[in-house]
């Protein structure tokens, strides 16, 4: 019984190590970025490298991101991502 429980726990830990880009963006705790905005950013950029390389103009083109976030985030996003 204990071996099965330990095995299940280890399997659950391995599964939790894999996440989507949207969940990763949301987990960064960026102000005003909820789950919907994180999903939109993930869809729009398609990958972490593209998101980190995005400038203010590219962020403004993202549907839910908005100008007010785009102006504040180009320096914030890469530093926040690399800090994690």
The reported pTM is 0.65
CA nearest 45: which of 77, 18, 76?
A: 77
Which structure tokens are listed for 72?
A: 């504040």
What is the band of 67 on the pLDDT scale with cuts at 50, 70, 90?
low
In tens, the pLDDT along 4-45 reads: 788 888 888 888 788 899 999 898 887 778 898 889 889 999
Which structure tokens are listed for 29?
A: 């705790």
Which of 36-40, 48-52, 70-74 has the weakest average pLDDT? 70-74
């Amino acid at each position: 019984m204990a071996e099965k429980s330990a095995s299940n726990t280890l399997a659950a830990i391995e599964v939790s190590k894999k996440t989507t880009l949207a969940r990763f963006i949301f987990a960064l705790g960026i102000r005003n970025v909820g789950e919907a905005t994180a999903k939109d950013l993930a869809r729009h950029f398609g990958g972490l490298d593209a998101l980190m390389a995005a400038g203010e103009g590219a962020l403004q083109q993202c549907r839910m991101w908005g100008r007010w976030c785009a102006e504040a985030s180009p320096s914030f996003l890469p530093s926040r991502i690399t800090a994690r």
